[in-house]
Amino acid sequence: MPVIELADVQAAARRIDGVAHRTPVLRSRTLGEGVFLKAECFQRTGAFKFRGAYNKLASLPEGRDVIAFSSGNHAQAVALAARLRGVRATIVMPADAPAAKLAATRGYGAEIVTYDRWTENREEIGARLAAERGLELVKPYDDPLIMAGQGTVALELLDEVAELDAIVVPVSGGGLIAGCATVVKALRPSCRVIGVEPAAGDDTARSLAAGERVRVEIPRTIADGLGAPEPGELTFEVNRRLVDEVVTVEDDELVEAMAFLFDRLKVVVEPSGAAGVAALRQGRIPAGGRVGIVLSGGNVGAGRFAELVAGRNEA
Amino acid sequence: MPVIELADVQAAARRIDGVAHRTPVLRSRTLGEGVFLKAECFQRTGAFKFRGAYNKLASLPEGRDVIAFSSGNHAQAVALAARLRGVRATIVMPADAPAAKLAATRGYGAEIVTYDRWTENREEIGARLAAERGLELVKPYDDPLIMAGQGTVALELLDEVAELDAIVVPVSGGGLIAGCATVVKALRPSCRVIGVEPAAGDDTARSLAAGERVRVEIPRTIADGLGAPEPGELTFEVNRRLVDEVVTVEDDELVEAMAFLFDRLKVVVEPSGAAGVAALRQGRIPAGGRVGIVLSGGNVGAGRFAELVAGRNEA
């Protein structure tokens, strides 16, 4: 029996209806007539993560408080979902997470507990706090309800764009692509599902090649949303069956794609969120046909964006 | 008899239908529940100017080639409108216009003629070339068809947002606000029409106070789209009757608003385009009620944005 099925994503779509945004699909003549960008940067909390978090919290017993560990976007997503559901959220975040993400998470009313992501294990800290405080742990990706929530991205995209030949999805722990692949292979099996990882954190590409989960060093990449060092157990179970291919992109290619999206589409996309466009512009996505690309998030501060782009100009 | 009437804007709306984008209306909880942003940064060529240019060209005899002089966005608008109408465009641009705007205008297939905006007069150059080459001069604002085209911004906004109490519009030559004011005062007379100018180029504010057109020094401001030193003759005839108030903003306030729109709404807005949000955030727009703000354009390069934001951080 599969970890999740289309019906789980459809149930998630009903739960998030009227709460999450149905994000727009953008076009760019420069990228190509057949390219469709699903703009999750315009999702609530600025990233797709809100879909899964809300789906999870809406499935818990009423009044159940939650805890989450996250490099940022999942944190904000759980914090807002908790506020909307009327429960308390404790968030375990790396001490070096982007300041904008820490501030935003606090802004949603969550309590923040920080840790050192180079020496401490967030899973252990999360599990300990959950046990001590009697909280429900909301995992960032390795949970069927989270995966199903993220899959609503593909449900909306297929609903809006007919006859897609490929969908391109950034990969970290693998929850977004697992949900999307479940939808795509059920509704349009001929559509290829292509993941994109930072070259410094290609654990899913290696794992698919090895046929089992492979752990890499904690990736040192500007794509702070793609920092998982190994695929999730449940997500990999889905992705090993349904993902056709995973390609990689370098940090400078992510910055180029961010600047392109800024200049031509007037949209703000964080490094992780630009991975699909970077892969396309670098020729790593099969040319031709109709391609959907998930712009997974837009949480990069104006100052940080300025640094990244200025660095590119000097190079 | 007024320079333009509601019927002229309605006719423009029919001409641009299916050619110009119907741009989205964005919200931001931080700005306020009653604030509605009309995102013309997502318009074709990245600014509202396409509306007026296409309306003008679609009203000319078939095959009539055109010339225009512009600090940038009007240039791109005329260039694209000409290509779509199958005619040739000659564009007279300041030599120091943003490189991205020069490149984009050439990219639409227009011929560029540059001039020095500190020593030469673009109106004279434009008139001379028009006579020499037998071209139709497409003025950037002082033309009823241009004003009527720009007025479609307000037509769409009023159609989408009920019971607006005020509309806030950036002002340079005055074409956009003249078109918008014509619509607003016909359809919803109780709605205040508020212009925003850079403090360094407050010619319309001074002109309204004086009751006649006042010319100022060529404004030295980062808002390169708001560089007109005096109101247009026809636009002022409209605006003196229909505009309730004009407020001003400083350059650093424009940068703050650009960074805010980047961080919170994930949208790219050029300095001119951020004028309304800057005025709102500085408390220069009457608080309360329902306020529509026109984000007039998004044509600022990623590198230039980085410079502006970095400059702010160092201050």
pLDDT tens for residues B83-132?
A: 999 999 999 888 887 777 788 889 999 999 988 878 888 778 888 888 99
- Cβ-nearest to A100 among B24, B263, B301: B263
Average pLDDT over residues A68-90: 92
Question: Tokens 């297939």 label which residue?
Answer: B109
> Taking the C-alpha atoms of B272, B218, B182 and B149 in order, what is their torsion angle to the nearest 10 degrees?
-70
Domain with CATH 3.40.50.1100 in chain A: 6-47+143-314, 50-137
The 3-state DSSP class for residue B39 equals: strand
pLDDT tens, residue by residue, A234-267: 999 999 999 999 999 999 999 999 999 999 999 9
pLDDT tens, residue by residue, B37-53: 999 999 999 999 999 99
Q: Give contacts of A44 with chain B, Cβ < 8 Å.
A: none
Contacts of A185 (CB under 8 A, 6+ apart): A191, A193, A242
The 3-state DSSP class for residue B122 equals: helix
A239 vs B315, which has greater pLDDT? Answer: A239
> Taking the C-alpha atoms of A57, A300, A160 and A186 in order, what is their torsion angle to the nearest 10 degrees?
-60
pLDDT at B313: 53
Cα–Cα distances in Å, from B297 out to A131, A200, B49? 52, 37, 9
Question: Tokens 């943003």 label which residue?
Answer: B98
Q: Helix H segments across chain B?
A: 6-16, 49-57, 73-85, 99-107, 122-133, 144-160, 175-187, 203-210, 233-242, 251-260, 275-281, 302-314
C-beta atoms of B306 and A301 within 8 A:
no
At the top level of CATH, which class does the domain B50-137 belong to? alpha beta
State how far Cα A127 lies from the chain centre: 22
Residue type, B86: G
Query: B255 CB near a chain A CB, below 8 Å?
Result: no
Could you tell me which residues are beta bridge partners of residue A65? none
pLDDT tens, residue by residue, A159-196: 999 999 999 999 999 999 999 999 999 999 999 999 99
Residue type, A237: E
Q: Give contacts of A24 with chain B, Cβ < 8 Å.
A: 24
Could you tell me which residues are beta bridge partners of residue A114? A93
Catalytic residues of B: 49, 71, 197, 201, 203, 296
In whole angstroms, give the CA distance from residue A46 to residue A39. 10
In total, chain B counts a number of residues equal to 315
Active site residue A71: yes
Could you tell me which residues are beta bridge partners of residue B199? none
Average pLDDT of chain A to the nearest whole number: 93
pTM greater than 0.90 (yes/no): yes
Q: Which among A87, A71, A64, A182 has a CA at the least distance from the CA of A126?
A: A71
Two tokens, residue A296: 């997974």
Query: A268 CB near a chain B CB, below 8 Å?
Result: yes
* Start-to-end CA span in chain B (Å): 51
> Taking the C-alpha atoms of A128, A130, A134 and A140 in order, what is their torsion angle to the nearest 10 degrees?
-170
pLDDT at B315: 41
pLDDT tens, residue by residue, A13-55: 999 999 999 999 999 988 999 999 999 999 999 999 999 999 9
CB-CB neighbours of B227 under 10 Å: 21
CB A308 within 8 A of CB A270: no
Question: Tokens 């057109």 label which residue?
Answer: B213
Active site residue A49: yes
Query: A46 CB near a chain B CB, below 8 Å?
Result: yes
The yes-or-no verdict on residue B310 having pLDDT over 60 is yes
Q: What is the maximum alpha-carbon separation in chain A? A: 54
Percentage of residues in chain A with pLDDT exceeding 90?
79
pLDDT at A99: 78
In total, chain A counts a number of residues equal to 315
CATH code matching the domain that covers B6-47+143-314, chosen among 3.40.720.10, 3.40.50.1860, 3.40.50.1370, 3.40.50.1100: 3.40.50.1100
Contacts of A96 (CB under 8 A, 6+ apart): A117
> Taking the C-alpha atoms of B74, B77, B78 and B83 in order, what is their torsion angle to the nearest 10 degrees?
160
Two tokens, residue B87: 């005619």
Query: B32 CB near a chain A CB, below 8 Å?
Result: no
In whole angstroms, give the CA distance from residue A246 to residue A53. 25
CB A176 within 8 A of CB A168: no
Active site residue A272: no
Two tokens, residue A202: 């290609």
Average pLDDT over residues B253-263: 97
Active site residue A190: no
CA B283, B287, B289 angle in degrees (round to 5)?
150
CB A56 within 8 A of CB A137: no
In whole angstroms, give the CA distance from residue A178 to residue A205. 14
> Which one is catalytic: A203, A224, A253, A270?
A203
Question: Tokens 């090993």 label which residue?
Answer: A240
Q: In what order do the strands lie in the sheet with A245-249?
A: A25-28, A32-39, A291-295, A166-170, A192-198, A245-249
Q: How far is B29 from chain A (nearest CA, A)?
A: 11
Q: Give contacts of B267 with chain A, Cβ < 8 Å.
A: 266-268
CB-CB neighbours of A118 under 10 Å: 9
Q: Which among B168, B202, B141 has a CA at the least distance from the CA of B273?
A: B168
